Structure 1
Amino acid sequence: MKKIEAIIRPEKLDDVKNALESANFVSMNLTEIRGRGRQKGVKLAWRGTEYLMEMVPKIKIDMVVRNEDAEKVVEIIAESLNA
């Protein structure tokens, strides 16, 4: 068995979930997290004032799959994020 962890943007969750379900990978755990990557946060404006939101909301997907399915699951996730 292999554990797969993927951190994605919340707006991509439905695309990833639907792609995995269509390939019969339905078991997953989701965790709402915050983090930042290369973008180092995002500038937002609220009531005329700009501020930096350093920790951006993200979704962490955890899955445990058979060894022979691990590469396929990773490919499905990557393809659904690029679509």
Structure 2
Amino acid sequence: MKKIEAYIRPEQLEDVKVALKSMNVNGISVTQIMGSGCQRGYREFIRGTEVDYNFLKKIKIELVVPDSRLEEILGKIIETAKTGKIGDGKIFISEISDAIRIRTGERGESTVR
């Protein structure tokens, strides 16, 4: 199993959710975060004072998927989250050694299907 952590633009969230739902992907966690990368934030003048906004609003999507579906799910996230501009985000992939469904005690890959 693999854990996907995708950091995307907030305005792309709905498109990514719809795309994943169309692929019957369940078990998605979404977190509103703030971060800084190549985009570097922006500057604004408020009441004559320059304010530097180093952190921008982003969305973090987390999901655990079977190894066999990893590439198709990654492809769909990239396809729907990509705008072609700096700040589109990043995706990180981690190995998950086990998963347990609390309700039944079931273990392994079947818990994420």
TM-score (norm 1): 0.88
| d(CA) in 1 for partners of 2:44, 2:23 | 38
2:43 matched residue in structure 1: 43
After superposition, where does 1:3-82 map in structure 2 within 5 Å? 3-47=3-47, 49-82=49-82
Q: Which stretch of the first structure deviates more once superposed, 26-35 or 36-45? A: 36-45
- The structure with more radius of gyration: 2
Structure 2 stretches lacking a partner, 5+ long: 84-113
- Residues 12 and 46 (structure 1), Cα distance of their counterparts in 2 relative to 1, 3 Å cut: farther
Q: Which stretch of the first structure deviates more once superposed, 49-58 or 59-68? A: 49-58
- Residues 16 and 44 (structure 1), Cα distance of their counterparts in 2 relative to 1, 3 Å cut: farther
Higher helix share: 1
| d(CA) in 2 for partners of 1:44, 1:74 | 35
CA-based RMSD: 1.6
Structure 1 stretches of 4+ moved >3 Å: 44-50
**Secondary structure, in 3 states, of the residue corresponding to 1:77?**
helix
TM-score (norm 2): 0.66
- 1:2-57: CA deviation from partner (whole Å, max 9, x where unpaired): 10010011111001111111111132001111101111112234456542210111
**Secondary structure, in 3 states, of the residue corresponding to 1:38?**
coil
| d(CA) in 2 for partners of 1:20, 1:26 | 8
**Percentage identity across paired residues of the two chains:** 45
Structure 1 stretches lacking a partner, 5+ long: none
| d(CA) in 2 for partners of 1:51, 1:75 | 38
